[in-house]
Amino acid sequence: MQRRVVITGLGVVAPNGVGIAAFLDAIKSGKSGIKFDQQLAELQFSCQISGTPEIDENLKLEYFTELELRNFNSTGILYGVIAGIDAWKDAGLPIELNEQPDWDSGTIFGTGTSGIEKFRESIYKIDDLQTRKLGSTAVAQTMNSGISAYLGGKLGLGNQVTTNSSACTTGTEAIMMAYEKIKSGKAKRILAGSTSDSGPYIWGGFDAMKVCTFKHNQTPESGSRPMSSSASGFVPGSGAGALLLEDLESALDRGARIYGEILGGNINSGGQRGGGTMTAPNPVAVQKCIVDALNDAGILAEEIDTINGHLTATSKDCLEIFNWSETLGLRGISFPYINSLKSTTGHCLSGSGSIESVASILQLHHGFVFPNINCEDLNPEITAIINHSRIPQEIIHKEINIVAKASFGFGDVNGCIIFKKF
């Protein structure tokens, strides 16, 4: 028997809010977390603004011991551990120091890279013949599975503990993998999410590709402009999102608060064929991903209340809207509401899918559609397809029943999840 899968815990570390309370307030009000980045300016980046979460030393000590923080230099693991442990606690689950691991619980927590700053530090120390000064956690911080290993140890997880990596689709993929694991009865609960390192050594390649905006270095909060006719590239960001996915029966048995349910979804690839490349999506694959997600969830296009899109503030925004419209068979005023969290956070890369999924679930649970900012000049190619009222620029308070969340990543990989109010 296939099991129903619900969300019982949330955690987030985002540029515009660390913790669910701060993040909820930010997305409701359209608060931006994008700021001028002095380090990028000193390194002569074209884009000198970023979305970087603010974590102080006292907060770190709530999640790591002083010994663990010695020689620690991995922002991605830092963000992921904070978001993950917050989601676990938000679900009302204890952190127990039992002799045996929790065989029913695991984590699938993705990332693009791990400890990029630690890698840089290691290279310099090795070249300076100071290898022994790297510290005993250098491997744990720089291995890709470092984030899931840290969470697995802190929470005593005994089920699957792994890290996935699929570029910007990583977070959405992690949630779908966790969903399938629980649905099949092979786990009672999985901590699902993703994280991304911050800083110039993760963002430099994108700046070199000229896909980041350089026009808003003096006006950071205006820099990320999804669906705008004046969009000039994405703003680099970072952070982590975490969702505690749980077997419905388990959640009900322990009286857990339920934020929402996952009805289904789909992950696919365009194979870098038919117009798809390393950096561009194959439209046929994108449309198939959405269709298959709807079929897996057992819903009709007309049942979708809002779409949380990928929408990065590049030339691909118009193509994404076209693909949604073609797939759903909906245009103009009949199209669902659509929003892009990246207008307030920038593009959090491998962390984006999970952070945006947290925002999607909060809309369902609290009954609102969060506003897009910086798109007062909507792209006419977009408004030729869907009515401008479908792209809210003020918060809309209304009951939301179904949210479709999509991510599209480098390598021509796609993901779409259907969330439902419980």
Alpha-carbon span 169 to 382, nearest angstrom = 23
One domain, residues 332 and 217: no
pLDDT at 123: 80
The pTM (predicted TM-score) of the whole model is 0.97
Q: Residue 120 — very low, low, confident or very high, per pLDDT cuts 50/70/90? A: confident
Checking if the pLDDT of 421 tops 80, the result is yes
For 319-332, b where at least 16 C-beta lie within 10 A, e where not — what string? Answer: bbbbbbbebbebee
pLDDT at 387: 98
* Count of positions (residues) in the chain: 422
pLDDT at 131: 84
Which residues, in sequence order, are CB contacts of 213 under 8 Å at separation 6+? Answer: 47, 49, 223, 224, 225, 231, 232, 233, 234, 235, 313
Q: Residue 268 — very low, low, confident or very high, per pLDDT cuts 50/70/90? A: very high
One domain, residues 297 and 372: yes
How do strand 306-308 and strand 337-339 relate by DSSP bridges? parallel
One domain, residues 229 and 286: no
One domain, residues 43 and 188: yes
Q: Which has the minimum average pLDDT: 109-118, 159-168, 297-306, 405-414?
A: 109-118
Say which CATH number the domain at 18 has: 3.40.47.10
Of 198, 231, 260, which one is at a domain's C-terminal end?
260
pLDDT at 105: 98
Alpha-carbon span 417 to 415, nearest angstrom = 7
Domain that holds residue 65: 5-260
Query: Long-range contact list for 135-140, CB < 8 A, 24+ apart?
Result: 135/70, 135/71, 136/71, 137/68, 137/71, 137/72, 138/71
One domain, residues 255 and 306: no
Checking if the pLDDT of 127 tops 80, the result is no
Q: Residue 121 — very low, low, confident or very high, per pLDDT cuts 50/70/90? A: confident
Checking if the pLDDT of 134 tops 80, the result is no
Of 260, 284, 304, which one is at a domain's C-terminal end?
260
118 or 299: which leads in pLDDT = 299
One domain, residues 245 and 368: no
One domain, residues 213 and 290: no
One domain, residues 252 and 117: yes
Q: Span 327-339, mean pLDDT?
A: 98
Checking if the pLDDT of 119 tops 90, the result is no
Of 227, 260, 293, which one is at a domain's C-terminal end?
260
pLDDT at 267: 98
Q: Are 83 and 12 in contact (CB under 8 A)?
A: yes
One domain, residues 144 and 284: no
pLDDT at 167: 97
What is the number of domains present in the chain? 2
One domain, residues 200 and 286: no
One domain, residues 281 and 192: no
Q: Residue 130 — very low, low, confident or very high, per pLDDT cuts 50/70/90? A: confident
pLDDT at 380: 98
**Spatial CA neighbour of 196 closest among 375, 74, 60:** 74
One domain, residues 290 and 379: yes
Q: Are 342 and 349 in contact (CB under 8 A)?
A: no
